[in-house]
Structure 1
Amino acid sequence: MKQLSSDIAVLIRMRALLVVLTRRELNARFAGSIGGIIWAWIQPALTIASYYVVFDLVFAMRLGEHAPAERVGTFLIVGMIAWMAFAEMTQRGMNSLVDVGGLLQKNPLPPALFPARSILATATVFFPLFILVTVAYWPMHHGSLAIVAMLPLLLLQTMTAWLLAYLLAILMAALRDVAQIVAFVFSVGVFAAPILFPLTMFPERWRWVLWLNPITPYVLSYQNILLNGQWPSPSSWLAIACTMAVIAVILNIVIGRSRDQLVDWL
């Protein structure tokens, strides 16, 4: 893991520059708008509110007996906010190296900075929404001590997104078709996780397919905490560790093999 460890050490050493780059990316995303970063919160907040209004208030839809929540909208919100954060982090990070190709050709900056910048900028938008949802679901988890697990889960999800985004960013630099493949995978990925339906509604013999989706253990963990006031299961923590380890090993190999050609690809 020498290559990946070296890049992580660079991020730690250049954390001040990373903060500056993150702030500039946030400003660039909303340059020219009066509302600024507020617009970044409006879209996911309205999406969350629409689930509650449509499914819980208008149609009053209900889930089955073994579901973690009775109301459909209440259930959907937990998984969708996790999915929206993960999808936006990963896809923005994936495009980060191609977007700054000219800059990297002129300045010997570490490529790892730019996926990290995109991830942190997106995290700045979604973390407050996670806090808002945690507070809104207080009647369901009753302030259980399990909410303490939200912070490490959010940090681990951010780290997972960075590992995956950095890997995809390098692959995209080598082959632009990666963007089309990833867009398709994310368009169907929401159906391959217990986001739109509880895990218990999926055929038991095919549930292993859901665990191939990196977001599944996070969604199940958030559901346990916010809907039931319970700690994430050991299987979720194990799945998170295995997912991160697999991505990290692949990324380490890809970094080592692309180090000399990456700037030329851009």
Structure 2
Amino acid sequence: MRMFAALWGYRGFIFESVKREFQSQYTNALLGAVWTIIKPLSMIVVYTVIFSQIMRAKLPGVDTKFAYSIYLCAGVLTWGLFTETVSRLQNIFLEQANLLKKISFPRLCLPVIVVVNALVNFLIIFGLFTVFLIFTGLFPGMAFLSLIPLLLIQTLFTIGLGVSLGVLNVFFRDVGQFFSVVLQFWFWLTPVVYPLSILPATMQSAVQYNPMTPLIASYQRVLVEGLWPNWLSLWPVTTLAVLLCAFGLRLFRQHSGEMVDEL
């Protein structure tokens, strides 16, 4: 509790850091924050062309117009939030080494700043996606509210994983390099651009052990079909998220003093 009280005491520092980081991303950029939209949009367009046009991919049992594009958006946008956050968290203590050595402040502020900044970027593009759903008449209705707990579970999982990797990466620099490779395989082992049902039965069983599978599938179920998530399928990843957060915070508390010497 003392740690969270310290974070609350530095909420002004966190807010100003998020604001400054967001502004610095687009300094001297003619399009400014529009790049937040262009990057995921370009990825969605590429995947839509490759899978729906070239490979003639379709969603089994769903004939709604734009269904595959919405399926892609649901997967690509939320996966993008996950990778952006965890990739930055694993390097945050290395990137801010000078700040950690010169200024005394709760070091846990740094992961919080990363997470809040990533959520701001995500909410901008997801807000526009929501406007698209409304104007096309494909808004999922009340089931849309279930995205809040889904996002919370994903954020907890990302924080736990990212902080753990961030601390380990200070002492073992290969951790960051190795995890970058893992992320590439992880993406294709998660049903982001393809429905799980097209995989062989044995492969489906294996992919179900992927903690991101039920999360991404839940987003897609809500946004494509307008149905509430299967909450039972989310218990394993929720439990894992809580355990990872506890492990990451404990690891951080035990080694936060040693990290400065290693940087």
TM-score with structure 2 setting the length: 0.87
**Pick aligned residue for 1:46 from 30, 42, 49:** 42
Which residue type is aligned with residue 253 of structure 1? R
Matched letter for residue 194 of structure 1: P
- The residue aligned with 1:128 is 124
Q: Which residue of 1 aligns with 2:178?
A: 181
Matched-pair identity in %: 25
2:228 match: secondary structure: coil
Q: Which residue of 2 aligns with 1:100?
A: 96
Q: Give the corresponding residue for 1:62.
A: 57
Q: Is the 8 A contact 1:94 1:115 kept in 2?
A: no
Matched, 1:204 2:193: no
CA-to-partner distance for each residue in 1:123-149, whole Å, 9 max, x for gaps? 111112222223434557544210011
**Letter aligned with residue 218 of structure 1:** L
1:27 aligns with 23
- For the Cα contact (< 8 Å) 1:41–1:129, is it kept in 2? yes
Hey, what's the Cα distance between the residues in 1 that align with 2:141 and 2:114?
A: 33
CA shift in 2, pair 1:36/1:186, >3 Å: same
Whether the 8 Å CA contact 2:140–2:222 is kept in 1: the answer is: no
Please name the residue that 1:231 is paired with: 228
Change (3 A) 1:16 1:210: farther
Distance 2:2 2:62 in 1: 44
How far apart are the structure 2 equivalents of 1:100 and 1:248? 21
Q: Is the 8 A contact 2:214 2:234 kept in 1?
A: yes
- Displacement of 1:53 in angstroms is 4.6
Cα distance in 2 for residues equivalent to 1:192 and 1:124: 27
Residue 38 of structure 2 aligns to a residue whose secondary structure is: helix
One-letter identity of the residue aligned with 1:61 = R
- Cα gap change, 1:37 to 1:114, in 2 (>3 Å): same
What amino acid does structure 2 have at the position aligned with 1:209?
A
Give distance in 2, aligned partners of 1:6 and 1:236.
34
Cα separation, partners in 2 of 1:211 and 1:108, compared to 1, 3 Å: farther
Amino acid at match of 1:265: E
Q: 1:260 aligns with which of 245, 250, 257?
A: 257
Deviations 1:171-229 (A, max 9, x none): 11111111111100111111111112212223334445334433222211111110110
Q: How many residues end up aligned between the 2 structures?
A: 261
Q: CA deviation at 1:54?
A: 4.8
Normalization by structure 1: what TM-score?
0.86
- Higher mean C-alpha displacement, 195-204 vs 122-131: 195-204
Deviation at 1:230, TM superposition (A): 0.5
Amino acid at match of 1:126: F
**Structure 1: runs of 5 or more not aligned:** none
Across the aligned residues of Structure 1 and Structure 2, the Cα RMSD in angstroms comes to 2.6
